[in-house]
Copies of this chain bind each other. A is one copy, B any other.
Amino acid sequence: MSTKLTEIVDYFKDLQNDICKSLEVLDGKKNFREDLWDRPEGGGGRSRIIENGDVFEKGGVNFSHVHGKLPEVLKSAERNAEHFDATGVSIVIHPNNPFVPIIHMNVRYFQMDNGEYWFGGGIDLSPAYVIEEDAQFFHERLKAACDKNDESFYPKFKKWCDEYFYIKHRNEMRGVGGIFFDHLKSANSERGRSEYGRSEYGRSEHNPWKFVQSVAESFVPIYAELVNRNKDKSFTETNRDWQLYRRGRYVEFNLVYDRGTHFGLKTNGRIESILMSLPPQANWVYDHKPEQGSAEEKTVELLQGRDWV
């Protein structure tokens, strides 16, 4: 492995350790259990799951580093690459309390043996009840993490996130968004050409690796604050039912639209690690309509998307 790759892999492993420890402290009852897995074609991962905690009903914090022959779809004569490495950390947390939001983070790095590389990732929030101060706090902190690297990032990556986590068949967002970025590389990288027509997003005058670290390190302080604000709130059966119903939307998004999930399912990835994102329980009620003037109705309105900062 190159020095850069080693540094990134080690960082992601430490990140997984740190985040699991912090979430265990927040939960106060359960610890993560670990599954190590190998990818037959090269590499593997370290899946960590927490279930039936005091705060977290189900959560996964997964590290992986896979490598091997470049998939055909990424090959091209011009590119002249044969081998790839992909490494990252993926997190999805489903809390017990309907007022604590579901959170998702992904940070990832991809490189090929021709010298090309890029970063991707993001953090987004899916509350069953959108609490406006919480959504605002969340976006402010993400903006701060972006701004200290590149002031052009937050508006671009906020928009990208809104577009990505959109449930088209429901005409609503999965949650209140956050930031999402992909194919991010240095403006002065040797092969600056961005893939998939994303060049308007995927360049920075600054160091993308430092940016990814800023995002990753914002996860614990942001989520700890949102958990602590809401975890002891009392809730009714109506609140719980609504949470289970909204989790249905999370399932719909992940199984119908999520590119990472589909890529994993189609490339024979480790199913239990991919689908750890699914909630412990989700409900579907035919043609459910929130009551007029209710907090549930307000949430649906806010899931149309807006500026939070």
Residues of A within 8 A of B (CB): 35, 49, 51, 58, 60, 168-170, 244, 248, 251-252, 255-256, 262, 265, 271-272, 275-276, 278-287
- Which residues of B lie under 8 Å from residue A262 when comparing CB positions? 256
* Residues of chain B contacted by A51 (CB below 8 angstroms): 285-286
Please measure, in the bound complex, the distance between the C-alpha atom of A168 and the C-alpha atom of B264, giving whole angstroms. Answer: 12
Cβ distance A237 to chain B, nearest Cβ, rounded Å: 14
Tell me the smallest distance from the CB of A92 to a CB of chain B, in Å: 11
* Distance between A303 CB and nearest chain B CB, rounded to angstroms: 15
Given A251-B255, A282-B281, CB of A287 within 8 Å of CB of B169: no
With contacts A170-B271, A255-B252 taken as known, whether A286 is within 8 angstroms of B276 at the C-beta atoms is yes
With both chains docked as a complex, state the minimum distance between the C-beta of A225 and any C-beta of chain B, in angstroms: 27
Docked pose: A275 CA to B256 CA in angstroms: 12
Contact check, B248 vs A256: say whether CB atoms are below 8 A apart: no
Residues of B within 8 A of A170 (CB): 271
A271 to chain B minimum Cβ distance, whole angstroms, is: 5
From B58, B252, B284, A279 is in contact (CB under 8 Å) with B284
* 19 A–B pairs (Cβ distance < 8 Å), ordered by A: A35-B287, A49-B286, A49-B287, A51-B285, A58-B284, A58-B286, A60-B286, A251-B255, A251-B282, A252-B275, A255-B256, A256-B256, A256-B262, A272-B287, A275-B284, A280-B283, A280-B284, A281-B284, A282-B283
Alpha-carbon distance A217/B91, docked complex (angstroms): 49
Closest to A171 in B: B271
A169 / chain B contacts, CB cutoff of 8 Å: 265, 271
A275 contact set on B, CB distance < 8 A: 252, 284
Q: How far is the CB of A38 from chain B (nearest CB, A)?
A: 15
Is B271 a contact of A286 with CB atoms below 8 Å?
no
16 additional contacts (CB under 8 A) given A60-B286, A272-B287: A35-B287, A49-B287, A51-B286, A168-B265, A169-B271, A251-B282, A255-B256, A256-B256, A256-B265, A272-B286, A280-B283, A280-B285, A281-B281, A281-B282, A281-B284, A282-B282
* Shortest beta-carbon contacts, A-B, top 9: A255-B255, A278-B284, A169-B265, A272-B287, A49-B286, A281-B283, A255-B256, A169-B271, A276-B286
Chain B residue numbers with a CB within 8 Å of A271 are 169-170
**Residues in B whose Cβ lies below 8 Å from that of A58:** 284, 286
Residue of B nearest to A51 (CB): B286
Bound together, the chains give a CA A255 to CA B261 distance in angstroms of 12
Residue of B nearest to A254 (CB): B255
Given the known interface contacts A58-B286, A286-B58, A286-B272, the answer about A278 and B248 at a Cβ–Cβ threshold of 8 Å is: yes
Q: For the complex, what is the distance from the CA of A198 to the CA of B58, rounded to whole Å?
A: 44
Question: Which single member of B49, B251, B286 contacts A251 (CB below 8 Å)?
Answer: B251
Residues on B with C-beta less than 8 A from A60 are: 286
